[in-house]
Structure 1
Amino acid sequence: MLDCRAQSKVDLKKDVYVVLLGGQSNMVGFGNYDQLDDRTKARIEAISNRVALSHYKGDKASPLSYTKIKLHEKYNLTKRFGPELFLGLTLAENNPNQEFLLIKTAQGGTALYGAWNPNWSAKQAKEIERGEQKQNMKLYENHINQIKAQLARLKAEGKSYKIIGMAWMQGENDAKFEASASNYGKNLGVLLSSYRKEFNIPNMPFVAGQTNSHYGMKGGSDMVRQGFLDFEKSEDNVVVIKTVRDSPYTDFPKHPDNVHYNTEGQKNLGTAFGNALIQLNSK
């Protein structure tokens, strides 16, 4: 069971546990809900009445489930999910009397060096982000505003809350350039510090999935992977979900393009995130 007694003296049965989620395309997710077996779908439906998800595209929160999209021809799916689905399921089944709210912002093909930078600058965004739209995205700021709106909604509903941690899946695009790749661990530390300071949670748990793409400059992806490990060593209350370097990706399986996690990969990733947050909150 999660144990936040050291963080709060409020009635935990009334508390809503809040989890923040951020990243790029593997946080968006290309798991195919239709490929899940009936028993797994039933488990998800059984907890959906007490696990809500807020997407970055709106300020509403809805019961945890898949996202309906137009047919994605490359992956042949119309019901997409990311790591939030099995993260929420893992947390809820571990805490059968608890309400949860997951607050997620994710955008494919963006970098921590650029769009996700808490100290956003047009110069750095133009250096690394592709296209005018992404060059003008301020994803950290957007996420903060989304979180504050959701917390204000809970307060207006008379509900207390506790932010119990954050899950992060991002890093592929930072392998493009030496400046972003070699400083990834440092930049991730700045990101974590910014969230902790913004919400006054000095020891907020943080779980990050280590990327394993081969995208970017020569050696860039290895720099980013090492950055995750350096970050984990330098920060308290942090877990990095380690991944295998090369295909076949047996730990977190991918679609045939070897870029995005498939249904099983997203299931494994979300479960790993959930278990890591349980571990960090039980300390």
Structure 2
Amino acid sequence: MTRLPRLCPALLAICLSASFLAAADPADPVKVFILAGQSNMEGKAANALLEHQATAPETKAQFAHLRDQQGWIERDDVFIKYLNRSGPLTIGYGSPNKTGVELEFGTVMGDHFDEPVLLIKAAWGGHSLYQKFRSPSSGLPSEEALQKELEQAQKRVTQNNEKRNRNDPLPTMDDIRSVYGSSYRAMMQEVQETFDNYETLFPALKGRPLQLTGFVWFQGFNDMFGDHAPGEYAANMERFINDVRKDLDAPNLPFVIGALGQNGSTPAKGAMLQVREAQMAMNDVPAFAGNVKAIRTDVLADKEAERLFPGWRDHFEAWQKVGSDRPYHYLGSAIWFNRIGRAFGETMIELLPTE
């Protein structure tokens, strides 16, 4: 397994120049935040829903601070890199034609800091902490577990070959092993590439050093499934935090965790409760006191979206004014995603060291 080089202090001290903040000291660092996770970190609130609710009399007050007379604000002090997209923070940096927690999180950070802010988002739907986001110190699952996974994968390919008259090769053990940690490595690559290229991506930041300032983790749904993932989540999460800090050379990097909350106003149970409790358990790790905090996202539920989701096809016109997706994506509620993003920002501020 190839390890990505750590982002060393020398990289964090690269000199750039900023034109849009000429009045500020060009030596002031850019505050960098990493936002990582699976589909809900991608962002699933439809832009069309934000457009509607931003002008609807009953909801527009909740979006007023994100808009001006021309429409959605494009901040000149907060920037975002999300895979192949980059630019000033505004709506639309979620899944295609959608928005996520980055909008309100970046707004809170931009309002808090005098220095410019850069968000690096690395998120891929359906990726578990047990497998693809598995960090280096978690190693690989047991040989018994890997062998079982290989047999299941080979069975699926065999059945598909027979059904579709194909001759696809059967997966090998190397194929199975290579998936573990692949998203962790891709996340680190995103960070590295952004640090390497941000003066080209964001000319307004030219002349400023970068300062890695915080990390937000919003993930967990796929760890509800499988024989081992729910039970191993707490241990894997603790190792993930330690590995991220080690690989980024940031020993006390503030870490905010959005605990599973798709249950909304309904009490969580089963594997969802198990994973949520594992996430919340990070608040009790002695070494994480004051620099890691997990928060509940179910308590921020959009109750109107919850009310209208049952039988949504029968009242589609009303539904599309409050939601845009299924419960596992927080109903695609712009209000719910914005509340979560704001809570992430406010929690991050609690963790930031006082200067």
Same fold by TM-score, threshold 0.5 exceeded? Answer: yes
Which residue, 55, 61, 70 being the options, matches 2:86?
A: 61
Judge conservation of contact 1:252–1:269 (CA < 8 Å) in 2: no
Aligned partner of 2:34: which letter?
L
Pairing of 1:187-206 with structure 2 (within 5 A) = 187-206=236-255
Q: Structure 1 unaligned segments of length 5 or more: list them.
A: 1-7, 73-77
Judge conservation of contact 1:18–1:102 (CA < 8 Å) in 2: yes
Pairing of 1:165-204 with structure 2 (within 5 A) = 165-204=214-253
- Aligned identity (percent) is 24
Aligned partner of 1:260: which letter?
H
Distance 1:197 1:174, change over 3 A: same
Aligned partner of 2:105: which letter?
L
Q: Deviations over 1:125-167 (max 9, x none)?
A: x589999999848111111111111112247843201111111
Using the alignment, how far apart are the partners of 2:345 and 2:120 within structure 1?
Answer: 14
The aligned counterpart of 2:272 is 221
Judge conservation of contact 2:280–2:295 (CA < 8 Å) in 1: no
Do residues 49 (structure 1) and 98 (structure 2) align?
A: no
Aligned partner of 2:40: which letter?
N
TM-score by length of 1: 0.78
Aligned partner of 1:90: which letter?
V
Aligned partner of 2:104: which letter?
F
Using the alignment, how far apart are the partners of 2:247 and 2:72 within structure 1?
Answer: 33
RMSD of equivalent CA atoms? 3.7
Pairing of 1:115-194 with structure 2 (within 5 A) = 115-119=132-136, 123=146, 136=179, 138-154=182-198, 157-194=206-243
The aligned counterpart of 2:166 is none
Distance 1:46 1:250, change over 3 A: closer
Larger radius of gyration: 2
Higher strand share: 1
The residue matched to 2:125 in structure 1 has which SS?
Answer: coil
The residue matched to 2:207 in structure 1 has which SS?
Answer: coil
Q: Tell me by how many angstroms 1:250 deviates.
A: 4.6
Using the alignment, how far apart are the partners of 1:208 and 1:227 within structure 2?
Answer: 11
Do residues 242 (structure 1) and 267 (structure 2) align?
A: no
Distance 1:66 1:172, change over 3 A: same
Aligned partner of 1:17: which letter?
K
Judge conservation of contact 1:24–1:106 (CA < 8 Å) in 2: yes
The aligned counterpart of 1:19 is 33
Distance 1:253 1:91, change over 3 A: farther
Judge conservation of contact 2:33–2:212 (CA < 8 Å) in 1: yes
The aligned counterpart of 1:113 is 130
The aligned counterpart of 1:4 is none
Q: Tell me by how many angstroms 1:182 deviates.
A: 1.0
Q: Structure 2 unaligned segments of length 5 or more: list them.
A: 1-12, 16-24, 56-63, 158-170, 201-205, 264-268, 307-322
Aligned partner of 2:101: which letter?
P
Judge conservation of contact 2:33–2:214 (CA < 8 Å) in 1: yes
Do residues 264 (structure 1) and 335 (structure 2) align?
A: yes
The aligned counterpart of 2:118 is 101
The aligned counterpart of 1:35 is 52
Judge conservation of contact 1:252–1:265 (CA < 8 Å) in 2: no
What is the number of residues matched between the two proteins?
Answer: 260
Using the alignment, how far apart are the partners of 1:35 and 1:208 within structure 2?
Answer: 30
The residue matched to 2:326 in structure 1 has which SS?
Answer: coil
Q: Tell me by how many angstroms 1:80 deviates.
A: 0.8
The residue matched to 2:128 in structure 1 has which SS?
Answer: coil
TM-score by length of 2: 0.63
Q: Deviations over 1:61-116 (max 9, x none)?
A: 311123389xx9xxxxx731111111001111222x32111001111111000111
Q: Tell me by how many angstroms 1:219 deviates.
A: 2.2
